[in-house]
Structure 1
Amino acid sequence: MMKREPGMVSVVVTNCNRELFLKECLDSLHHQTYPKIEIIFVDDASTDRSIGVVQSWMKENGVDANRLLLVCLSRNAGYSGSLTTGLFLARGEFIAVQDSDDFSHLSRFEKQVSYLENHPEVSLVGSNYASFKNEDHQQRQYTPANWLKYGEEIRKVYRNGGHCVCNGTIMFRGAIFDQIGGLTRRIAGAEDYEFIVKFLNIGARIDNMPEILYYYRFHSNQRSLAYFGKGGDPS
């Protein structure tokens, strides 16, 4: 097992054919106010120009392999397979998740790391987020989420089979991941739900921050639509 680097945030981005959204996604990570970040970008056998877009972005922004590790899967492993691949490559004390078609608030990691450092009893923290339709930047209207829960309510919701943490917003302690491992490949469309339950099953504490630190894009080819239909759960 690799030795985790203190203070580092390893953010895992999974991607399959999202070339149109990658620049905004990567820009939001590159310009974070928290300085100690590595990006692990796992491309799940894309057939579009995704890999070329990432390589060009790295060159244009002076980002080398120490800052962004580009992992190109030769076969499609699906969401859980590609995300788990990235999670096992993460070196940081903290691990975060971001979808390649979304983007993060520029102070997201700074605020989440601060929260975990000030709340040592919490193993995983998510945040509120705002959703938007894929339109021109100046025309976007952002809608805050209203289905998340906080504090002890989170455990109650999952105990009853519900879901109240947005997967794209989560940051968790690498040491806990070393105990529980990655996502299941048995439950298509509910992998993120099962991953959260793994934390709860070992008694780990979870919370959400009420501040909007993540921006979720609605578009015609998003992963959640394949399982939940129009207006599906953006977890």
Structure 2
Amino acid sequence: MKKPMISVIMGVYNGSKHIQNAIFSILAQSFKDFELIIINDGSTDDTLSKISAISDPRLIVIDQNNQGLTRSLNNALKIAKGDYIARQDADDISIYNRFEKQLAAFEEDKELSLVGSSMFISNPNGIFNEIFHYPKTDAECKSALIDYNPFIHGAIMMKRSELIDEGGYNENFRYVQDYELWSRLVPKIKCENLAEPLYARLRESDCSESTIDKTEYVNKIQNQLKNHENIRLQRESFTSKEITTQGIYPLLSYPHKYTSQLALTFSKMAKIARDNDLQSTVLKRNALFYCPWFGVFKEAV
């Protein structure tokens, strides 16, 4: 296999419920030149069999003893060959044109090293009824960094060379490993978030690590950032009132402007599921979005 343009890295532990949908959303991308490296981190459920049921030559699956997400991502980085690294969480969905849009941003601005995006987010019933918007420009992201993580980890794409030069993820951080990485990387590079939502997250109690208290890790990162001269100077020079205090972001909006992208993503995912002789009840349920101007639910596929 020739060297791909993008290496997508994913770690999964007991993610049987959502793993196939996450994979479908990557395989449904309009930009096709990628490899998807999945680290099965010692899952004790049927995650591995769910992954194995999907056939595509771009899938690289590594089965290992449980080591945690941070080390899993570094293990994936060791075998990644792409010029760009894209993240994908095992219980989220990438919109079908995510890679295309992010690569276009890199092409438009050669100085960019990291590109994220806004994000669809569901209610607890799995209906995508909101969009979370994050700081957009390089100046906004750097100014916000002291107060909170200005990027959705699963939605980012970055230049592989700079990530490797930075040493990858810090394995002393079992959680918020992305925020810790940005605290080292973002002061040195140019970054941005695209306004368009190119990622979708299920807001369910059993997804990711949402119930774990990460305060200790976050405080350690923010204390280090407060003493970082580049970040401090950037913050002092930034005058926008949009980002000056903790808690302003994420900004919320409704998804009606982007429902066609959401609908087409689910349609493409459903086709890949059918091509693999698989059915997904979760996919069918989540193929709904809320139309606030009608006050009713509409089916996206």
TM range (shorter): 0.7 to 0.9
**2:192 is matched with which residue?**
207
**2:144 is matched with which residue?**
157
The CA RMSD measured in Å over matched residues stands at 2.0
Unmatched 5+ residue regions in structure 2? Answer: 215-248, 251-301
Is the 8 Å Cα contact of residues 205 and 211 (structure 2) preserved in structure 1? no
1:70 and 2:46 aligned: no
The Cα of 1:84 is off from its aligned counterpart by 1.3
Match of 1:181 among 167, 179, 196: 167
1:10 and 2:29 aligned: no
Map residues 19-168 of structure 1 onto 2, 5 A cutoff.
Answer: 19-58=16-55, 63-64=56-57, 67-73=58-64, 75-133=65-123, 135=125, 140-146=127-133, 148-151=134-137, 152-158=139-145, 160-168=146-154
- Over 3 Å off, 4+ runs: 133-136
**2:179 is matched with which residue?**
193
The percent identity for this pair of structures is 26
Q: How many residues align?
A: 214
**2:233 is matched with which residue?**
none
One-letter identity of the residue aligned with 2:13:
C
Distance 1:80 1:46 in 2: 15
Distance 1:112 1:38 in 2: 16
One-letter identity of the residue aligned with 2:22:
C
Largest Rg, 1 or 2: 2
The Cα of 1:70 is off from its aligned counterpart by 0.2
Greater fraction of residues in strand:
1
The Cα of 1:161 is off from its aligned counterpart by 4.1
Is the 8 Å Cα contact of residues 199 and 205 (structure 1) preserved in structure 2? no
The Cα of 1:10 is off from its aligned counterpart by 0.7
The Cα of 1:76 is off from its aligned counterpart by 1.1
Is the 8 Å Cα contact of residues 128 and 212 (structure 1) preserved in structure 2? yes
Unmatched 5+ residue regions in structure 1? Answer: none
1:223 and 2:208 aligned: yes
